[in-house]
Amino acid sequence: MVIPDEDVRPIWCPLLSNSLVDHIVLGRRGELGVLLVPSKKGFVPDKRGLKCDLWAARNIRQIDYESCKICGCLNHKDFRFCQFCGDRGEDSGEVSIDDQDLKSYNAKKRILYLENMLNNKTYDKKKVSLKKDLESFLIGRAKNLTSATPEDIRLFLIDRDMKGKTKIHDLCCPFLGDKKFKDCSCPCRLASGTVSSLASQLKAIFDSFGRKGEWTESGLIKFGNPVSSTIVKRYLEAVKLEQAVAHVPIVQAKPMFLDKLKKISVYITEQLNDHMLKPGKRFVYLRDRAFFTLQFFAGDRASDLGKCLAQEVKKLTDSEALLFRHTVGKTLGNGKINEFVISPVSDKLICPVENLNQYVSGAEEMDIDLSLAPQGEEELLARRLASPCEKNPSNAQRLEPPLGSLSIQCMDMPLSSDSPPWVCTPPRVPSPKVGVAGQTKLVVDTSLDVTSIIETKQKVQEYNTETILGINSTEPNNRIYNTESNTTIYNTESNTRIYNTESILEINTEECNTESKQEINNELMQEMQTEPIQEVKTKPKSLYRSQEIKDTNISILQTDQSDGEIESKIRLTLEFDEPSKTKKAKLESVCSSSFKMLPSHVHLNIASGSKQSNNIKPVKVNGSSKNKINFIGDKVDIRNIKHSSDSSNYRKIRPRKLIQGKTENEETDLNLVNQEETRNQVRNLENTDSVNHPFMMQGSFHQGDDRFRNNSGKQMCSKFINSHSL
DNA sequence: TCTCTAAAGCGGACATTAAC
DNA sequence: GTTAATGTCCGCTTTAGAGA
């Protein structure tokens, strides 16, 4: 038996010592070459040295064991305290001195264990390293963490800045904007994002050191976090500006689309068809194919999926779908879990369910039991599913080249999925009686009769509440299947997910052919054809929220935003080589070209959601003096109407930041609004496409918005659109 | 293994709506 | 009128992965 002699000796150490007949020292702490460690070249002598003394014992005496009455685990026959469940057996309950020591020991051991759990995280190790650097820098200035000032921090950042690798070309440099060229005399600095990140880490270091709060400096009194000071903030701002001026390009992640997933799957399947393939490689291929396809359709983060254990995956009894339940991950834990259902897709090649099943059955054929950890490994084999994203070095094998032959470059990131699909949202169903419908909700239905919805307020209410999903009325842990759309809603206490795998966008709605609908359409078409496009008023940029794109109808686009804002908003490629276009034409071009892969019945709502809140709702005269509407002629005076409740059922004045002494609303909103005219305008612009097209894509979303699952980001958006445009 | 970097998570502030 | 839930923006903080 080989025993490590650690700083904190285990509780069973005395017991073990008594049972040993003979022992020798194999190596002392720090000694090199005592152990052989695995490497690509086989087992090689350890170059790091032992972390503690290593002993070898032999001739262990027979120890008499006794089972614990509570948990059944084996303990020494004279045990007074079960090593496993803590039961004290038939003890009287009096706390002896020994028990106190034992408690103290156990507490100490547990604290050490918990501390290690935190300190072993990569980020924490990095902070410790940074802290050391900072301290040694401060020593050079005769300072320490207690006495460091904002100026010290700025100098430290400048010191680090000199070690950067990002070329900041001078404006006169011919290589301005060229990231690759590094032979000119322009300086290399840290990228602005890195400096920000560095500052955040420094701030966290000072916070944990006890120097929290804003930096305050008044005469000799100086306290707070020096990183929170204006000096450091201005430094960061200046660095960002400098690099923006120097045209430092920001490299963005390369998304992986469905076509690439298919190529990977084709490649792996071809390899698997080779009967000469060695079992080890076969296992890797099976595992990686399952991983790639699962990650693509689950929208799961690679690292989260990599941490998935076999027992976290359940096969639903009444369908082929799989239920995943992640409890550990980047944002999981702490009471937060990620639970979702993966349904099969028709294309077996990329079907995540099919591929996972093949992985499991293939492993079984190779006598690899996925439910048991292999000898010598602590983790279940299923954990090794993570190989494509595991950090290097990893004991898990990687997918081997030549992926390049299939146009799959190794630089492609694994499917980054800190991101959600763009979900289908229901139309905001309008009604001549109740006006603009409420907030959009997630809706899955195969046949929505828009006509009937429009007709009655009751229908509108039904439509706009979650009752249509049956979520509220459904008992927890019931599944609601919508077989036609191949979409599963899984309702649990912790969260409700709508999981769409394949055809959520292929939902069709009955064509509306009633008179009222037709009338609206006719009016609208007429207006669109005859009404001149309003001239865009030029207003200061700061008056507008960045997400606002005025007007919701793509066919008569107009905007107050600059080209850059439009581009950043839509985040899709513009045709820069084309002759310059007007803003309207450019936006039209973007909308028509970039989204052309969308199915024809999908309407992309590029207007912001907040647009709705700017609309005038129909006036409800309910006699309340507080809600009394002041008419001036045929117009409504909205100046004194405050937002309080729904009873003030018309325009609200939204307090905003002050701009030159006026609120944004005062500056931009009309005080007098033609009630009927505006309502019609709203109805037409806001809802027409919704009526014509049953579903629209939500154009903006919040990162981390739970409606889009835990994560939201552009990678998944692009992926999702791509997969559903087939 | 460490450094650098891009990407994304998180939560506050503010705004809005539905339901009661 | 109150409350819970939803929607949007933004700054701060944390994380993962590439590459030296």
Could you identify the residue written with the tokens 């007429």? A526
Closest nucleotide to A609 by C1' from CA: C7
pTM (2 decimals)?
A: 0.45
pLDDT for the residue A212: 67
Amino acid identity, position A473: S
pLDDT for the residue A433: 24
Output the DSSP codes for A405-456.
GGT--TTSPP---SS-PPPEE-----BTTTBS---------S---HHHHHH-
Q: Is strand C less than 7 A from the beta carbon of A125? A: no
Q: How many Å does it take to go from CA A380 to C1' B15?
A: 48
Stretch A519-532: mean pLDDT: 38
The segment with the largest mean pLDDT, out of A120-129, A380-389, A577-586, is A120-129
pLDDT for the residue A338: 58
Q: Which residues touch A253 (CB under 8 Å, ≥6 apart)?
A: A413, A416, A715
pLDDT for the residue A695: 30
Closest nucleotide to A204 by C1' from CA: C13
Q: How many Å does it take to go from CA A210 to C1' B1?
A: 31
Q: Are A568 and A510 in contact (CB under 8 A)?
A: no
Could you identify the residue written with the tokens 């795998």? A501
Per the structure block, which two tokens stand in for A124? 């924490």
More confident call, A593 vs A247: A247
| Cα A18 versus chain centre, distance | 54
Give residue-wise pLDDT tens across range A360-418: 888 778 776 665 433 333 333 333 332 222 222 222 333 333 222 232 322 222 222 22
pLDDT for the residue A526: 44
pLDDT for the residue A123: 57
Q: How many Å does it take to go from CA A724 to C1' B2?
A: 41
Hey, which residues does A315 pair with through a beta bridge? Answer: A322
pLDDT at A583 over 80: no
Q: Is strand C less than 7 A from the beta carbon of A523? A: no
Q: How many Å does it take to go from CA A226 to C1' C20?
A: 32
| Longest distance between any two alpha carbons in chain A, whole Å | 106
How far is residue A687's CA from residue A427's CA, in Å, rounded to a whole number? Answer: 7
Closest nucleotide to A657 by C1' from CA: B14
User: pLDDT band for position A233 (50/70/90)?
Assistant: confident
Q: Is strand C less than 7 A from the beta carbon of A664? A: no
Closest nucleotide to A48 by C1' from CA: B1
Q: Which residues touch A317 (CB under 8 Å, ≥6 apart)?
A: none
Q: Is strand C less than 7 A from the beta carbon of A178? A: no
Q: Is strand C less than 7 A from the beta carbon of A571? A: no
pLDDT for the residue A227: 78
Residue A94 C-beta-side C-alpha neighbours within 13 Å = 3
pLDDT for the residue A249: 57
Q: Is strand C less than 7 A from the beta carbon of A648? A: no
pLDDT for the residue A363: 77
Domains annotated on chain A, with CATH: 113-246 (1.10.150), 258-370 (1.10.443.10)
Which chain A residues 457-496 have CB under 7 A to strand C?
A: 466
Give residue-wise pLDDT tens across range A439-477: 222 222 222 222 222 222 233 222 222 222 222 223 333
Count Cβ atoms within 10 A of the Cβ of residue A268 and give its class: 0-12 exposed, 13-18 middle, 19 or more buried: buried
| Lowest-confidence region among A35-44, A198-207, A303-312 | A303-312
Stretch A273-286: mean pLDDT: 78
Instruction: List the one residue out of A604, A447, A443 whose CA is nearest residue A510.
Output: A447
Chain C nucleotides close to protein (CB under 7 A) are: 1-3, 6-19
Q: Is strand C less than 7 A from the beta carbon of A438? A: no
Q: How many Å does it take to go from CA A472 to C1' B9?
A: 29
Q: Is strand C less than 7 A from the beta carbon of A197? A: yes
Q: How many Å does it take to go from CA A39 to C1' B4?
A: 27
Give residue-wise pLDDT tens across range A139-148: 888 888 878 8
Q: Is strand C less than 7 A from the beta carbon of A414? A: yes
Q: If you average pLDDT over every residue of chain A, what do you get?
A: 50
How far is residue A268's CA from residue A290's CA, in Å, rounded to a whole number? Answer: 10
How far is residue A648's CA from residue A617's CA, in Å, rounded to a whole number? Answer: 9
pLDDT at A80 over 70: no
Angle at A617 between CA A615 and CA A618, to 5 degrees: 145
pLDDT for the residue A146: 79
pLDDT for the residue A311: 62
Q: Is A247 left (phi over 0), alpha (psi -120 to 50) or beta?
A: left
DSSP A374: P
Give whole-number Cα distances, A154 to A199, A229, A239, A248, A602, in Å. 9, 10, 12, 22, 51
Q: Which residues touch A227 (CB under 8 Å, ≥6 apart)?
A: A150, A153, A199, A202, A203, A206, A215
